[in-house]
Structure 1
Amino acid sequence: MPVSDLVLVVMGLLTVAMLAASLCRNLPIPYTVFLVLIGMLLSMLTRDIPALSALHEFRLTPDLVFFIFLPALIFESALNLDARQLLKDIAPIFALAAPALLISTVIIGVGVWLYTDLDLILALVFGALIAATDPVAVVALFKELGAPARLTTLVEGESLFNDATAIVTFKVLLGIALAGSFTSGDVGRGIVEFFQVFFGGVIVGTIIGFGIAELMRRIRGSEIAILVMSLVMAYASFVIAEHLLHVSGVMAAVSAAVAMGIYAVTRIPQGALRSIRETWEVIALVCNSL
């Protein structure tokens, strides 16, 4: 697709998404669900309306989603959490995000294995694929009902960490499945690899988060420079962890955002922090919409 057509398609899709966001305020449907329905409608219309043929050529590649959209969405979600409250509740959040998700993966996988012709390892891969939860609708309901802030932090924190758990679990199980064999030794190796990838991401993200937050403190006179460094933090933590060190990029992005949230409270001007949050809200909206 020519670049000019690509720009027009993206601008058109964003316009449709913003109109959908406006309509959603008067409908009992979450924004993301409404967008899926609109996407399905547009997909059907492209077959019958020649003017919309460019939409049929528009593709989001796996690398684009994984290395551009995912870091932005993860970082923005973690950035809006109360970092100190998150650390206070880290034990129940981890209990929900890791052991509970692994149990869900096993239950789903064994159920699929018992009632289909899939091998056990492939059934477990499927279980890992669908075990993660999306709290968008629940959190929106919490805000409407005035639920306690701690409950919101628990749900959002669990969602962030279980995304990472699900991705790591999926990759480990997929690697075993592609190897073509599944033995008891694979279980032990899978558990070790899981902890290495998961906590490796935490360590990498924390180091990058505190390091770049210190740079932000030193350039505190320029809000634009601080904002740009937040972009560097989000993408550098994810790509360095995922692509170079082969640990969890999701956990790295989450940890970097939490580290910045802890460090920045008293060291970075509040105006700059407000600009960072507002800018990332726009970035996340664009990524979610596309």
Structure 2
Amino acid sequence: MPSYYYIIILISLAAFFAYINERFIKLPFVIGLFFLSSLLSLFSLVIKSYYSVPFDQIRELVISTDLSKSVINIFLGFLLFAGSMHTNWFSMRKYLKDISVLALGGVVFSTIFVAVAFFYVSHWLGLEVPFIYCLIFGALISPTDPIAVLSILKEAKVPEKIEVTLVGESLFNDGVGVVIFIALTQMLASGAVDFDFPHFGLLFIQEAGGGIIFGLILGYILHYLLKTTDYYETEVLLTLAFVMLGYFVSAQMHISGALAMVIMGLMVGNFRKEEAMSNETEEYVAKFWELLEIILNALLFLMIALVLVVLDFNLKYIILGVLTILILLVSRFFTVNIPRKTSLTILKVDKPTSQIIILGGLRGGLSLALVMSLPASEFKDILLIVTYICVAFSILIQGTTIGTVAKKILKK
């Protein structure tokens, strides 16, 4: 069956699940879609042992279409641009210090903490995951994703600082986490077995510095082009072309397309926006990217469901995933509370705010996209299953309870 038919199936399933969720389940969109995708995976795994023909075809599809390259080359650029374009820089600027501490220091600390803990736990279980893969896992699982809970937190009427901090942290730690992830995977591709700090440092500076500069250049050029035309059809196409072309060129230049898209998105959404777009154009551009982000998240959840079906599950992988949830919760606790309780008071938030920020540190689509982009290996299978378990807990458990918990915390 041609891969085009599978795209039809994915889109149709996404639409069907969205309708079922909206009509009957009534969970926030991302949570509802992930829940139904998870049910599909579980159902498929149950019947897999009784009827194998469709699963053989799915396995061929996953291998032949190389889903990993599709995710890293297509999904990431769109998702990061869309997220940053919808971020209000002027609201975020008031809490920039707190956001920077969580997004920069937090990701670095979390990557190292999770990597070390994951290394020892995996070896204790007899899986013996190499440390370079543990670092890669730490980098891909550390970025947070508040999309699933923002509507819930708004209903809970949390203070503006919490909402803006979670959004700002997610925006920048996505870029930082992807840069660390790409630098580490490039080390792995070069044949490195152990972590080489000087090599990693050079790759990080090249990726991060180049991505920021290139993003600023792209953002300014796009701003000029948008300013010199006033047809929303043309302006929507311009943003689409710049994301696709910019991410592709970044990869060829070996700089961070992720950071370039974040910077370019921030500029489109905030830099002299009233000069670049009319009210009508701004509305069309915003709605287009909002809808595209929703569609890509839907496809991503269904794609991960396809990949999970063709994996050979091992009980140790599942145990490792459950233990990793505890590692992430401890890491998040330290990430927020260590800078908050230092003598310099680096992170200026009170205890109730810190508790909600800790709970709001969900993992989502970005982590799934990154782990799917890894080259095929036995260790990729381990990381994929563990990542899925962590994201499932994060979205389905934390995401559905954070509103109630936040209300209780704020009442104290």
| TM-score category of the 2 structures, normalised to the smaller one | 0.7 to 0.9
Deviations 1:109-144 (CA, angstroms, capped at 9, x unpaired): 222333414443333233223222222333232221
Counterpart of 2:155 (choices 144, 148, 159) is: 144
Report the counterpart of residue 35 of structure 2 in structure 1.
34
Task: State the secondary structure of the residue aligned to 2:145.
Answer: coil
Report the counterpart of residue 197 of structure 1 in structure 2.
207
Report the counterpart of residue 16 of structure 2 in structure 1.
16
The 1:54–1:209 alpha-carbon spacing in structure 2 relative to 1, beyond 3 Å, is farther
Give TM-score scaled by structure 1 length.
0.85
The 1:212–1:4 alpha-carbon spacing in structure 2 relative to 1, beyond 3 Å, is closer
Counterpart of 2:225 (choices 194, 212, 215) is: 215
Q: CA separation in 2, counterparts of 1:29 and 1:276?
A: 21
Assess if the C-alpha contact under 8 Å between 2:14 and 2:298 holds in 1.
yes
The 1:20–1:270 alpha-carbon spacing in structure 2 relative to 1, beyond 3 Å, is same
- Cα deviation for residue 269 of structure 1 reads 0.2
Task: State the secondary structure of the residue aligned to 1:133.
Answer: coil
Q: CA separation in 2, counterparts of 1:10 and 1:86?
A: 36
The 1:113–1:46 alpha-carbon spacing in structure 2 relative to 1, beyond 3 Å, is closer
Deviations 1:222-270 (CA, angstroms, capped at 9, x unpaired): 11111111112322222222x2221111111111010112234221101
Q: CA RMSD in A?
A: 3.0
Deviates more, 1:250-259 or 1:143-152: 143-152
Opposite residue 158 of structure 1, the aligned amino acid is E
Assess if the C-alpha contact under 8 Å between 2:183 and 2:207 holds in 1.
no
- Cα deviation for residue 58 of structure 1 reads 5.2
Assess if the C-alpha contact under 8 Å between 2:18 and 2:29 holds in 1.
no
Counterpart of 1:269 (choices 270, 278, 285) is: 278
The 1:41–1:192 alpha-carbon spacing in structure 2 relative to 1, beyond 3 Å, is same
Report the counterpart of residue 174 of structure 2 in structure 1.
163
- Cα deviation for residue 79 of structure 1 reads 1.3
1:67 aligns with 2:79: no
Unaligned runs of 5+ in 2: 300-412
1:281 aligns with 2:290: yes
Assess if the C-alpha contact under 8 Å between 1:208 and 1:256 holds in 2.
yes
Report the counterpart of residue 256 of structure 1 in structure 2.
264
- Cα deviation for residue 284 of structure 1 reads 1.1
- Cα deviation for residue 3 of structure 1 reads 5.9
Percent identical pairs in the alignment equals: 23
The 1:88–1:255 alpha-carbon spacing in structure 2 relative to 1, beyond 3 Å, is farther
Task: State the secondary structure of the residue aligned to 1:192.
Answer: helix
Task: State the secondary structure of the residue aligned to 1:147.
Answer: coil
- Cα deviation for residue 85 of structure 1 reads 2.5
Opposite residue 204 of structure 2, the aligned amino acid is F
Opposite residue 133 of structure 1, the aligned amino acid is T
1:82 aligns with 2:88: yes
Q: CA separation in 1, counterparts of 2:70 and 2:193?
A: 31
Q: CA separation in 2, counterparts of 1:135 and 1:286?
A: 17
More RCO (CA 8 Å, sep 6+)? 2
Deviates more, 1:271-280 or 1:81-90: 81-90
Q: CA separation in 2, counterparts of 1:202 and 1:105?
A: 21
Task: State the secondary structure of the residue aligned to 2:271.
Answer: helix
Report the counterpart of residue 145 of structure 2 in structure 1.
134
Report the counterpart of residue 347 of structure 2 in structure 1.
none
Give TM-score scaled by structure 2 length.
0.62
Assess if the C-alpha contact under 8 Å between 1:233 and 1:256 holds in 2.
no
Opposite residue 285 of structure 2, the aligned amino acid is I
Q: CA separation in 1, counterparts of 2:29 and 2:237?
A: 37
